[in-house]
Structure 1
Amino acid sequence: MKYPLDCEENFNNSMLFWLSKFLKFKINSLSNKLLDNPDLLRDINIKLNTTPKNITELDNLAKQIRNIGIIGINTYFNPLKKFYEQIIHYKLYSLKIIDEDLVIEILASITAGLSDASKKNYKIAIVNFFKFLNSQNKDDDGSHVFEIELKNWLGLKASAGQKLPEYMNEEQMKLFLKTLDEFNFKSNSDRNKLAIKIILFTGIRVNEVLRLRLKDISFENELVSLRIHAKGNKYRVVLLDINLINNHLNYLKNIIAQDDFIFIGRNSKPLTQAYISRLIENVLLQAGIRKEKNGAHMLRHSFATLLYKKEKDLLLVQEALGHASLNTSRIYTHFDNDKLKLAAKIAKNLKDDS
C-alpha cells in the first residue's frame, strides 16, 4: 500500500511516519536467524502500524528489535535518528523540499569526526531510506521522486584509497595471549577466553562466533572443526588445533541441546558484539597494547596478517576469512615487507659503492 508523502499534519509527524514504515520494512527484510522472541516481533510490527508520538518512542522500538536478535537494524536506524533530530530544526513544511544539497548539509554536521566506515553506514542508511520513499509514496499527481544518491558527498575520502587495518604483530599476539590466560574475568572466564581465542586463532568474524551452536563443533584427532554461518546465509568450515583451546573446553559440557548457542549470557541470549569487544579492549589495556581500534575485528586482521606473512598464499587467506572476493584479501599483502627489505638493501649498496 502506498501513502501520500506528506501524510501527517506537519513535517515532523510525516518524517516519523515514514521512519516507522522504513523501520518495519527493514526488520522484516533483515536476517531473523537469531530471533528469539517471535511474539515480541509481532507486537512491534503492530505498534509500527501507528506513528509513534516522538523519536524516543521509535528509538525504543528499534532497541527492542535489536535485543530480540534482528542483527543490523542499528546500521539503518541510528543514522536516520540523527538525521531526523537535525532536519526538524529547519522548520520545513513538506518532505518534497528535501534535496541532495540539504542532505549533504545535514550530514556534514552529524558525521563530523566519524571514521570513513561510519560515514559509509550513514550514506547507506539515508540513500536506502529515500529509495524506500520513492517506491512507497503516491499523491494525486503521482509519486514524488527523491534524487538522493550522495555520489559526490565530500564527507567520504574516496580518493584516499583503502585504509590499512589495525593489527597486532606476532610478538604483540604472544603478549596478548599471555595476558588473556592470566586475565581475571569477573564471571564466565572459560566462556570469554574461548570466544576470544577462537576469533584470534581462526580469524572468523565476531558475529560468526556468536552464531555458533553446539552442533557446529566437531572433533577429529587433534583438530576442532567449526561450521561457520557466514554472510549471505552461506556456510564454511574452519579448523584449529585443539591444544590451543583445550583448557576452556569444559565450558561446552554445560550446554545441553545441540541447537543451543554456545556463547550466551545470564539471560540465555547470545552475547553481543559490543560485549566481546569490551572484553578484548580490557585485555589489550592490561597488556599495554595500544591500537587505534581495539575491538574484536582487530583480532581478525591480526590473524589474517600473520597467515599471509607465514604462508604467502592469498587464496588461503580468502578461504580462511570467508571473503567473497580475492580483492578484499589483497589488503593483507601490504604488510608483507620482504620485498621492501630488498629495496632497502639496494639503497644500502648504492652507499657502499660511493
Structure 2
Amino acid sequence: MNGLDFAVDAFLRERTMTRGSSNRTVEAYGRDLEALVNFLGQTSVVDVKAIRPSHLRSFMAGELERGLAKSSLARRLSCYRSFFDFLIREGELEVNPARALSLPKQPKPVPSFYYPEEVKALLESISGTDLWSLRDRALLEFLYAAGVRVSECVGLDVSDVSLQEGTALVFGKGGKERYVVVGHKAIESMVRYLDARSAHVFVDSNGKVAAQALFVNRRGGRLTDRSVRRILDLHIRRVAGLSHISPHALRHSFATHLLDGGADLRVVQELLGHASLSTTQIYTHTSRDRLAQVYHQAHPRA
C-alpha cells in the first residue's frame, strides 16, 4: 500500500463501507487528501513511509499563506490524522506524522439564531390552506420543534414519525439513530399537512407511487437541503425586519430557547444528537449573551 493514491483510495473505501461516513464527508476527505498528495508529488514524496511532520508543516503553512481559513486547516489536519491512523492500523506506518502538528486555534463563532418572538412571527406568517403552504408550515414547525439537522429532516419517511406519541426516529451522523420529541404545535401543523396530502397521489416517471417521504416536493419526490433553504428564504422575505439565516439556524434557535427555558445541558445534547457535551456548550454562551442583552436594555442603571 506504499503508493499514496492507493492508500487514499483504501482509506476512503474504509470510511464508506466500515465507518458509515456520509457521501458528503467522504467527498470532503477526498478533496483534502488530494490537495496533500498534489503537494507531496511536487516534493517527490510518493511513499507513505517517507512522509514527515516537516512535509505537513510546509503544506499547511503554504495553505495558510494562500488564505485558507483556520477552520478549514483544522478540518484538513483532522482528516490527515484519521488517514495516518488508518495506515497504522493497516500496518503500513508505526507513527502518525500528523500527530506532531497542533490544531490551529480559532475563535468559536456564536451560532446565529432567532429570538422566540421572531420564530413565532415566521411560522405564523405561513397561513395558507393549500397543500404547499401547509407543507411549508409543517416543515418549519418540525425543524424548530425537534431541533433536527436539515439532512435528518429531509431523510424522514412518514413511518418514522408517531404523531400520537409526539416523537420521530431520525437517522443522524454516522448512521446513528435517535428519537426526538415533537411539540403539539408542530403536530397540529403536520396533521393538517398530511391530511391535505392524502388527497394527492404522487407517481414517479415510471407511473409508480412515489416513496413515502415525509416532506415532498411538487412531484412527490423527497425535498433536498437546497429546497428547504429556498422555502425558508421565501417565507423570511414576507416577514418585515427578519434577518436572513440558514435553515440550520432553526436548530440553533431550538437549542438556545431550551437552555434559556432552563433545560438541562445533557438533555439538550441528547436531543441534538451531539457526541460531545462540549459541542452543545456553545449554546450556553448564546444564552448568556441573550441575558446580558436583556439586562442592558431593561435595567435603568445598566
Give the shorter-chain TM-score range: 0.7 to 0.9
Residues in 1 aligned to 2:215 and 2:266: alpha-carbon distance in whole angstroms: 30
- Partner residue, 1:114: 69
Letter in 2 for 1:209: C
Residues in 2 aligned to 1:71 and 1:96: alpha-carbon distance in whole angstroms: 29
After superposition, give the CA deviation of every residue in 1:263-303 in whole Å (9 maximum; x if it has no partner). Answer: 45689775443443454345445656446xx3322110012
Asked if residue 203 in structure 1 is aligned to residue 203 in structure 2, the reply is: no
CA shift for structure 1 position 167? 0.9
Letter in 1 for 2:69: L
CA shift for structure 1 position 128? 1.3
Residues in 1 aligned to 2:173 and 2:89: alpha-carbon distance in whole angstroms: 27
SS in 2 for 1:164: coil
Asked if residue 304 in structure 1 is aligned to residue 248 in structure 2, the reply is: no
Write the mapping of 1:337-352 to structure 2, written as runs, cut at 5 A. 337-338=290-291, 348=301
Asked if residue 273 in structure 1 is aligned to residue 262 in structure 2, the reply is: no
Residues in 2 aligned to 1:275 and 1:121: alpha-carbon distance in whole angstroms: 27
- Checking the alignment, whether the CA contact within 8 Å between 1:127 and 1:150 is kept in structure 2 is no
- Partner residue, 2:214: 262
Residues in 1 aligned to 2:192 and 2:279: alpha-carbon distance in whole angstroms: 34
- Checking the alignment, whether the CA contact within 8 Å between 1:203 and 1:303 is kept in structure 2 is yes
- Higher mean alpha-carbon deviation, 261-270 vs 298-307, is at 261-270
- Partner residue, 2:280: 329
- Partner residue, 1:228: 170
Residues in 2 aligned to 1:205 and 1:328: alpha-carbon distance in whole angstroms: 14
After superposition, give the CA deviation of every residue in 1:20-57 in whole Å (9 maximum; x if it has no partner). Answer: 2222221112338xxxxxxxxxxxxxxxxxxxxxxxxx
CA shift for structure 1 position 199? 0.8
Higher relative contact order (CA 8 A, sep 6+): 2
- Checking the alignment, whether the CA contact within 8 Å between 2:126 and 2:136 is kept in structure 1 is no
Distance 1:342 1:26, change over 3 A: closer
Percent identity reads 22
- Aligned partner (choices 66, 83, 87) of residue 133 of structure 1: 87
- Partner residue, 2:97: 147
SS in 1 for 2:114: coil
Distance 1:237 1:172, change over 3 A: closer
Letter in 1 for 2:159: K
SS in 2 for 1:227: strand
Aligned length: 286
Residues in 2 aligned to 1:325 and 1:75: alpha-carbon distance in whole angstroms: 22
CA shift for structure 1 position 95? 4.0
**Which runs of no fewer than 5 residues in structure 1 stay unpaired?**
6-13, 33-65, 350-354
- Checking the alignment, whether the CA contact within 8 Å between 1:210 and 1:263 is kept in structure 2 is yes
SS in 2 for 1:72: helix
